[in-house]
Chains A and B, each alone.
Chain A
Protein backbone atom coordinates (compact mmCIF):
# COMPACT_ATOMS: atom_id res chain seq x y z
CA UNK A 1 0.00 0.00 0.00
CA UNK A 2 1.19 3.53 -0.69
CA UNK A 3 0.15 4.80 2.76
CA UNK A 4 3.66 4.20 4.13
CA UNK A 5 6.44 4.68 1.61
CA UNK A 6 10.13 4.02 1.96
CA UNK A 7 12.99 5.24 -0.21
CA UNK A 8 15.15 3.80 -1.55
CA UNK A 9 13.78 0.26 -1.88
CA UNK A 10 17.24 -1.17 -2.42
CA UNK A 11 20.64 0.26 -1.57
CA UNK A 12 24.16 -1.06 -1.85
CA UNK A 13 26.83 0.92 -0.08
CA UNK A 14 30.38 0.54 1.16
CA UNK A 15 31.74 0.28 4.67
CA UNK A 16 32.20 3.69 6.26
CA UNK A 17 29.67 5.52 4.13
CA UNK A 18 26.88 7.57 5.65
CA UNK A 19 23.43 6.72 4.31
CA UNK A 20 19.90 7.81 4.98
CA UNK A 21 16.73 5.81 4.62
CA UNK A 22 13.55 7.82 4.32
CA UNK A 23 9.99 7.10 5.36
CA UNK A 24 6.85 9.06 4.55
CA UNK A 25 3.27 8.36 5.53
CA UNK A 26 -0.12 9.69 4.51
CA UNK A 27 -2.03 7.96 7.30
CA UNK A 28 -1.88 10.93 9.65
CA UNK A 29 -0.48 8.80 12.47
CA UNK A 30 1.64 10.35 15.19
CA UNK A 31 3.58 7.20 16.07
CA UNK A 32 6.38 6.06 13.79
CA UNK A 33 8.93 3.25 14.11
CA UNK A 34 12.05 1.88 12.48
CA UNK A 35 12.77 -1.85 12.54
CA UNK A 36 15.36 -4.11 11.03
CA UNK A 37 14.61 -7.66 9.95
CA UNK A 38 17.28 -10.35 9.89
CA UNK A 39 16.75 -14.05 9.13
CA UNK A 40 16.22 -15.96 12.33
CA UNK A 41 16.09 -12.81 14.42
CA UNK A 42 12.71 -11.43 13.46
CA UNK A 43 11.91 -7.74 13.67
CA UNK A 44 13.89 -5.63 16.09
CA UNK A 45 13.07 -2.06 17.04
CA UNK A 46 15.73 0.54 16.29
CA UNK A 47 14.03 3.85 17.13
CA UNK A 48 10.52 5.12 17.64
CA UNK A 49 8.78 8.47 17.82
CA UNK A 50 5.37 9.34 19.21
CA UNK A 51 5.33 12.88 17.89
CA UNK A 52 7.64 15.35 16.16
CA UNK A 53 9.42 16.31 19.38
CA UNK A 54 9.66 12.79 20.78
CA UNK A 55 12.46 10.38 19.80
CA UNK A 56 13.24 7.18 21.68
CA UNK A 57 15.83 4.45 21.35
CA UNK A 58 14.71 0.92 20.74
CA UNK A 59 16.47 -2.40 21.36
CA UNK A 60 19.30 -1.89 18.88
CA UNK A 61 19.95 1.82 18.36
CA UNK A 62 23.77 1.72 18.38
CA UNK A 63 25.17 2.86 15.02
CA UNK A 64 21.89 4.48 13.99
CA UNK A 65 20.29 7.89 14.35
CA UNK A 66 16.91 9.26 13.34
CA UNK A 67 15.22 12.51 12.47
CA UNK A 68 11.51 13.29 12.65
CA UNK A 69 11.23 16.14 10.19
CA UNK A 70 7.44 16.35 10.31
CA UNK A 71 4.51 14.27 11.45
CA UNK A 72 4.65 12.48 8.11
CA UNK A 73 8.43 11.97 7.80
CA UNK A 74 10.84 9.85 9.81
CA UNK A 75 14.37 9.20 8.53
CA UNK A 76 16.93 6.65 9.65
CA UNK A 77 20.65 7.33 9.23
CA UNK A 78 23.63 5.06 9.42
CA UNK A 79 26.51 7.38 10.28
CA UNK A 80 29.25 4.98 9.21
CA UNK A 81 27.83 1.83 7.68
CA UNK A 82 29.31 -1.55 8.56
CA UNK A 83 28.65 -4.97 6.98
CA UNK A 84 26.61 -6.29 9.92
CA UNK A 85 24.07 -3.54 9.22
CA UNK A 86 23.16 -5.42 6.06
CA UNK A 87 19.46 -6.15 6.60
CA UNK A 88 15.91 -5.41 5.56
CA UNK A 89 14.69 -2.17 7.16
CA UNK A 90 11.05 -1.35 7.78
CA UNK A 91 9.34 1.85 8.74
CA UNK A 92 5.97 1.57 10.45
CA UNK A 93 3.28 3.89 11.74
CA UNK A 94 1.09 3.23 14.74
CA UNK A 95 -2.54 3.95 15.39
CA UNK A 96 -5.00 2.95 18.02
CA UNK A 97 -7.46 4.54 20.34
CA UNK A 98 -6.94 3.87 23.98
CA UNK A 99 -4.07 1.70 25.07
CA UNK A 100 -3.64 -0.60 22.08
CA UNK A 101 -1.75 -0.02 18.88
CA UNK A 102 -1.91 -1.47 15.38
CA UNK A 103 1.22 -0.92 13.35
CA UNK A 104 1.27 -0.39 9.59
CA UNK A 105 4.47 -1.27 7.80
CA UNK A 106 6.06 0.15 4.69
CA UNK A 107 7.40 -2.10 1.92
CA UNK A 108 10.94 -2.14 3.29
CA UNK A 109 14.42 -1.11 2.19
CA UNK A 110 16.96 -3.81 1.46
CA UNK A 111 20.36 -2.49 2.50
CA UNK A 112 23.64 -4.17 1.65
CA UNK A 113 26.88 -2.90 3.15
CA UNK A 114 29.98 -4.20 1.38
Chain B
Protein backbone atom coordinates (compact mmCIF):
# COMPACT_ATOMS: atom_id res chain seq x y z
CA UNK B 1 0.00 0.00 0.00
CA UNK B 2 2.94 2.29 0.58
CA UNK B 3 4.52 1.70 -2.81
CA UNK B 4 4.66 4.06 -5.72
CA UNK B 5 5.14 2.20 -9.01
CA UNK B 6 7.00 4.10 -11.73
CA UNK B 7 7.46 3.29 -15.39
CA UNK B 8 9.30 3.07 -17.66
CA UNK B 9 12.68 2.39 -16.08
CA UNK B 10 14.42 4.08 -18.99
CA UNK B 11 13.30 6.24 -21.88
CA UNK B 12 14.96 7.53 -25.02
CA UNK B 13 13.33 10.43 -26.84
CA UNK B 14 14.34 12.50 -29.83
CA UNK B 15 14.93 16.21 -29.36
CA UNK B 16 11.64 18.03 -29.67
CA UNK B 17 9.59 14.99 -28.74
CA UNK B 18 7.33 14.41 -25.75
CA UNK B 19 8.63 12.41 -22.79
CA UNK B 20 6.03 10.70 -20.63
CA UNK B 21 6.70 9.03 -17.29
CA UNK B 22 3.96 7.31 -15.35
CA UNK B 23 3.40 6.57 -11.67
CA UNK B 24 0.69 4.69 -9.80
CA UNK B 25 -0.12 4.38 -6.12
CA UNK B 26 -2.47 2.44 -3.89
CA UNK B 27 -2.74 4.43 -0.68
CA UNK B 28 -5.63 6.89 -1.07
CA UNK B 29 -4.30 8.88 1.89
CA UNK B 30 -1.52 10.28 -0.31
CA UNK B 31 -2.32 13.90 -1.08
CA UNK B 32 0.89 15.46 -2.38
CA UNK B 33 2.75 14.25 -5.46
CA UNK B 34 6.12 15.84 -6.30
CA UNK B 35 8.50 15.03 -9.11
CA UNK B 36 12.23 15.27 -8.57
CA UNK B 37 14.91 15.61 -11.24
CA UNK B 38 18.43 14.27 -10.73
CA UNK B 39 21.41 15.01 -12.94
CA UNK B 40 24.47 12.72 -12.85
CA UNK B 41 26.63 13.39 -9.80
CA UNK B 42 24.00 15.56 -8.16
CA UNK B 43 21.26 15.14 -5.62
CA UNK B 44 17.60 15.17 -6.70
CA UNK B 45 15.87 18.54 -6.87
CA UNK B 46 12.18 19.39 -6.89
CA UNK B 47 10.86 19.91 -10.40
CA UNK B 48 7.11 20.24 -10.02
CA UNK B 49 4.41 19.03 -7.63
CA UNK B 50 0.65 18.59 -7.60
CA UNK B 51 -2.11 18.15 -5.05
CA UNK B 52 -5.16 16.01 -5.87
CA UNK B 53 -7.60 18.91 -5.93
CA UNK B 54 -6.47 19.64 -9.52
CA UNK B 55 -6.12 17.33 -12.50
CA UNK B 56 -3.22 19.09 -14.16
CA UNK B 57 -0.38 21.43 -13.33
CA UNK B 58 1.90 23.03 -15.86
CA UNK B 59 5.20 24.81 -15.39
CA UNK B 60 6.89 25.72 -18.64
CA UNK B 61 7.49 22.56 -20.65
CA UNK B 62 6.69 20.29 -17.68
CA UNK B 63 3.15 19.13 -16.94
CA UNK B 64 1.79 16.77 -14.30
CA UNK B 65 -1.46 15.02 -15.16
CA UNK B 66 -3.32 13.53 -12.22
CA UNK B 67 -6.11 10.93 -12.32
CA UNK B 68 -7.47 10.53 -8.81
CA UNK B 69 -9.94 7.76 -9.61
CA UNK B 70 -7.27 5.65 -11.30
CA UNK B 71 -4.68 6.55 -8.66
CA UNK B 72 -2.20 7.50 -11.34
CA UNK B 73 -0.17 10.55 -12.21
CA UNK B 74 2.27 11.28 -14.96
CA UNK B 75 4.95 13.75 -15.97
CA UNK B 76 4.94 15.10 -19.52
CA UNK B 77 7.96 16.93 -20.87
CA UNK B 78 7.05 18.81 -24.01
CA UNK B 79 9.65 19.73 -26.63
CA UNK B 80 12.22 17.56 -24.85
CA UNK B 81 15.78 18.87 -24.95
CA UNK B 82 19.16 17.17 -24.44
CA UNK B 83 19.50 19.20 -21.23
CA UNK B 84 16.46 17.33 -19.88
CA UNK B 85 18.50 14.11 -19.84
CA UNK B 86 18.39 13.07 -16.21
CA UNK B 87 16.76 10.61 -13.83
CA UNK B 88 13.24 11.50 -12.78
CA UNK B 89 11.58 10.31 -9.57
CA UNK B 90 7.93 10.56 -8.72
CA UNK B 91 6.96 10.59 -5.08
CA UNK B 92 3.90 10.60 -2.88
CA UNK B 93 3.31 12.00 0.56
CA UNK B 94 0.59 12.28 3.17
CA UNK B 95 0.26 15.90 4.23
CA UNK B 96 1.57 16.56 7.70
CA UNK B 97 3.90 13.55 7.75
CA UNK B 98 6.68 15.36 5.87
CA UNK B 99 7.88 12.06 4.40
CA UNK B 100 7.95 10.89 0.82
CA UNK B 101 7.62 7.47 -0.78
CA UNK B 102 9.66 7.61 -3.97
CA UNK B 103 9.17 5.69 -7.17
CA UNK B 104 12.00 3.64 -8.61
CA UNK B 105 13.14 6.30 -11.06
CA UNK B 106 13.20 6.77 -14.83
CA UNK B 107 16.41 7.47 -16.68
CA UNK B 108 15.60 9.80 -19.57
CA UNK B 109 17.93 10.37 -22.48
CA UNK B 110 17.06 12.99 -25.06
CA UNK B 111 18.94 12.56 -28.31
CA UNK B 112 20.17 15.66 -30.09
Interface residues of A (CB under 8 A from B): 4, 31, 33, 35, 40-45, 48, 50, 58, 90, 92, 94, 96, 99-108
Contacts and interface: CB of A to CB of B under 8 A. Distances in A.
Nearest to B98: A101
Report, nearest first, the 9 A-B pairs whose CB atoms are least far apart: A105-B43, A99-B95, A42-B104, A43-B102, A101-B98, A99-B96, A42-B102, A42-B105, A105-B44
Interface residues on B, range: 20 to 34
Contacts of A35: 102
A107 B103 contact: no
A40 B98 CA distance: 24
Nearest to A30: B98
Given A40-B9, A100-B32, A108 B43 contact: yes
Contact of B44 (A40, A43, A101): A43
B61 interface: no
Nearest to A4: B43
A83 to B, nearest CB: 22
Given A42-B102, A42-B105, A108-B42, 10 more contacts: A4-B43, A35-B102, A42-B89, A43-B100, A43-B102, A50-B98, A90-B43, A100-B51, A102-B49, A106-B43
Given A92-B43, A100-B95, A40 B100 contact: no
Interface of B: 6, 9, 32, 34, 36, 41-46, 49, 51, 89, 93, 95-96, 98-100, 102-105
B46 A103 contact: yes
Given A105-B44, A107-B41, A108-B43, A45 B99 contact: yes
Contacts of A92: 43
A100 B102 CA distance: 16
A88 B18 CA distance: 30
Nearest to B94: A99
Contacts of B45: 104-105
Contacts of A99: 95-96
